[in-house]
Amino acid sequence: MRVQSVTLDFFRNYTHLEVEFHPGVNVIVGENAQGKTNLLEAVAYLSSASSHRARYDRELIQFGIDRAFLKAEVFSRQRSHTLEAQLTRGARRQLWSNGVRLKSAGELSGLLTTVLFCPEDLYLIREGAAARRRYLDSCICQLRPKYAAALAEYHRLHEQKLRILKDWEEKPSLLDTLDDFSLRMAQCGAVIIHYRAHFVKKLAQTAPQIHAECSGGRETLRMRYETVSSITDPMAPTRQLLDQLLDHQERHRQAELEARSCLTGPHKDELTIFIDENPAKNFGSQGQIRTAALALKMAARDIFYQDTGEWPVLLLDDVLSELDSRRQEFVLNRITSGQVFITCCEEEKLTRLETGKAFHIRNGQLI
């Protein structure tokens, strides 16, 4: 799978950009704050309709402008696809594939898959559980449209249920709808847990080997998916997961009303990582944590390949400069197949890499 070209209008600091990429390694060079990350962000956006660093789509639209437009020519599944996105201030973003309007971001699944790796990801293990949920969500959404749909619906319901729990004392009539929201959250929650459990199973089969290679086999990586305590087996059919979620919700109904917050559900899930049997979050050294994060990211790339038969586009944002030479070597050796985008400030640093094409970016323009 590869991105053949990208066109941007009023996306971040790009007023207008048209660029053709190499099927191999694309190096994006430029000084700080010139638009390197913005370009990778644009490619990633067209794979999932979300950004790793913007909470709201409006942040992606150029300052002072009302509408941004992104387009990519992508080659995947043995043919070309045109993916387009239009972002409008104050309105919902719109997506197209080959000119056909998409109803949801989930419909982008499998057309363009990307794995983005940036310096913040090196702390994926040490950060709170939300960072690891984001990692899981980003991976699974790109592979499974049903998951993307369930997750979007779950977030929507979660926000509405929170509002009910915050305001029910002032407006008791809100309570009439509470159980309906809980039921629908449990239905979406069961789907989310099902897919997360299956993805973590694949991850547990893939990441330890990558981690062993990178750490010279000196350490072992293990992981555990932790979800709502009433779930006896997260791999069970969704029907069983639903029953157990509903049971748990019912037992916590009063507590939720008192706490005015949603106490139970997959929005609290955790992916616990162990290095040599100790939780890495608490006991891992700086280097161990980096190696484990690297293994999770590279494992995602392998899983995408196993799942779709095509290498996802790898977006490496500034990450090589953050790695010591042994880990750099490790990454560079693993990315000899598939299309890669690498950003850096100075080109010389990447001499060991066979560059397909280099792009120099200054102030949102290709020079």
Which residues would be at the binding site for Mg ion (CB under 5 A)? 36-37
- Nearer of residues 147 and 359 to ligand ATP, judged by Cβ: 359
Written as one string, the DSSP assignment of 270-330 is: EEEEEETTEEHHHH--HHHHHHHHHHHHHHHHHHHHHHHSSPPEEEEES-GGGS-HHHHHH
Residues found in the chain = 367
Which residues are at the interface with ligand ATP (CB under 6 A)? 12-13, 30, 32-38, 59, 61-63, 318, 345
Q: What are phi and psi of 128, to 5 degrees?
A: -65, 170
- Nearer of residues 33 and 367 to ligand ATP, judged by Cβ: 33
- Nearer of residues 62 and 82 to ligand ATP, judged by Cβ: 62
**Which of ligand ATP, Mg ion, none lies near 62, with the C-beta cut-off 5 to 8 A by kind?**
ligand ATP
The least CB distance from residue 246 to ligand ATP, in Å, is 43
> Which residues does 211 contact at the CB level (< 8 Å), separation at least 6?
219, 220, 221, 291, 292, 295
The least CB distance from residue 39 to ligand ATP, in Å, is 7
List, in sequence order, every residue forming a beta bridge with 20; answer none if it has no partner.
5
Q: How far apart are CA 208 and CA 202, in angstroms?
A: 11
**Which of ligand ATP, Mg ion, none lies near 114, with the C-beta cut-off 5 to 8 A by kind?**
none
- Nearer of residues 36 and 133 to Mg ion, judged by Cβ: 36
List, in sequence order, every residue forming a beta bridge with 94; answer none if it has no partner.
86
**Which of Mg ion, ligand ATP, none lies near 30, with the C-beta cut-off 5 to 8 A by kind?**
ligand ATP
- Nearer of residues 120 and 153 to ligand ATP, judged by Cβ: 120
Token representation of residue 189: 């929650």
The least CB distance from residue 226 to ligand ATP, in Å, is 34
- Nearer of residues 280 and 320 to Mg ion, judged by Cβ: 320
The least CB distance from residue 37 to Mg ion, in Å, is 3
Going 180 to 181 to 182 to 187, the CA torsion angle's sign is: positive
The least CB distance from residue 19 to ligand ATP, in Å, is 14
SS3 readout for 104-148: CHHHHCCCCCEEEECHHHHHCCCCCHHHHHHHHHHHHHHHCHHHH
H-helix or E-strand containing 359? strand 357-362
**Which of Mg ion, ligand ATP, none lies near 63, with the C-beta cut-off 5 to 8 A by kind?**
ligand ATP
> Which residues does 170 contact at the CB level (< 8 Å), separation at least 6?
none
- Nearer of residues 30 and 234 to ligand ATP, judged by Cβ: 30
The least CB distance from residue 138 to ligand ATP, in Å, is 19
- Return the half-sphere exposure (C-beta side, CA atoms, 13 A cut-off) of residue 285: 5
The least CB distance from residue 41 to Mg ion, in Å, is 9
